[in-house]
Structure 1
Amino acid sequence: MATVTSRDGTKIGFEQVGTGPTLVLVDAAGGFRGFGPMGSLAQRLADRFTVVTYDRRGRGESGDTLPYTVEREVEDLAAVITAGGGAAFVHGFSSGAALALLGASAGLPISMLSLLEPPIALDQSPQEGDLAAEIDELVAAGRRADAVEHFHKSIGVPPEMVAGMRQAPFFPMLEGIAHTLAYDARITPAVSHATLQSVTAPALVVNSESSDDRLRGWAAGVAAALPQGRHLPLEGEWHGVSDDVLAPVLADFFGGGARGASPR
């Protein structure tokens, strides 16, 4: 593991594997290098790319300078891209995909994007309430377990999955980073139609064929709004696509953009 210093002085932990053009993976809510799908995906792509995984602020080995702002997370991504060589392909999952879009819109040197089920509802009215504030309130009251459960219920995780969450062996870890769920709840609403229109990099928007209509529709809507967006449904489970299916698709997509690029 290495660290890079973000603009506000926060240390961000990252690591890289493989050789080739740089590909940065951006985790979803609750994910970091020690938990989630990005580690195994990185290994599957390491024969074609220098794959960078990192701990988003407040998770794993990264710091968490307060007060939190979405702009600081964009600066974290910028620092990781710089540490990886100064320009990169970027793959983001869920709210990590939203963060990647914000980074591209802000002018970070992202040459191509892949986005797995970005939870961005362009054609729907804003949800009632303030999920980020609700998470903040529960965490401040010491109710971290309730904060984790409330977040997942609010974003539409199927009830049968939420029901067994507290008994899962990884639940104490989720409690420990419960405050960062409010960060994700702030990132996703920050992506607007204007944000998407400003992203000129080629973008592949992927969804699982087994996700619900809402997630599939959001993916299609984001792809349609991006100037160079392409929508691709893949075989998978609810809100997820296995490495066996996803890795070859990403290798082909980014590999097309990498032709002529010099290996690191």
Structure 2
Amino acid sequence: MAGKVILVGCGNMGFDMLKGWLASGAVQPADVLVIEPNETLRNRAGEQGVRTSAAPDGIAGESADLVIIAVKPQVLRDVLPAYKPLAPKAAFLSIAAGIAISTFSEILGSDTPVIRCMPNTPAAIGKGMMGIYANELVSADILAFVNTLLSASGEVVVLDDEGQIDAVTAVSGSGPAYVFHFIECLEAAAVKAGLSEKAARLLAMQTVYGAANLAKESGEEPGRLREQVTSPNGTTAAALAVLMGENRLGNLVDEAVDAARRRSIELGK
């Protein structure tokens, strides 16, 4: 289905997603209304050909299939009540981290179709990873429309339990930062090994980029790909003995993901 969309908040994530939807043809500019109080951000959105407004004045007269809430979690309770006139006819899609569907039901009404989404920053270049969970009130048509919209920004996984959103937050939501830090560490190690900073940065970034693409496109299990690179008693084996000895890296990643998951739960309370 093609639908009419109201995008509430058009900061960096909202704007990047908007550009992806329009570029893919998933939605037409005339079918999008962006509500953004910041004049600079609002004008930036308007340059994409969509309608814009500084405030939700007259929102009750709008027709919308989907209202996308892309504001910071700490202001959501202040922003959301203005959109109650659109519920339950319109479904609501939230990318506000840590805000449970029960909060939307409390403010908008228990009969409101609500979808939670956890995107990540690579969505800005169409390489994102989005996890979504929909309550039982969301129709198959709306869920398919949401999937089409989000697919313009990357891959989408549909979850069967809202509690899994916290795990998605810990793995893919926060995950890019883990990878960026690994690149930082690999670059620093390369400099320490005698390479120039320019060469070290290119080597680190391209190695991670290439390995990630190979892992996705080869169809092989990551463990199998690791084994293919690792010659007995070779250089890779020497390095992996450090990373994998006593499950060092595995334990660190487990601890990091668990810390992020627990923090996501805390922020949702």
The TM-score bracket by the shorter chain reads: 0.3 to 0.5
- Structure exhibiting the larger radius of gyration computed from Cα positions: 2
Larger strand proportion of the pair: 1
- The structure in which a higher percent of residues are helix is 2
Q: Give the TM-score taking structure 1 as reference length.
A: 0.33
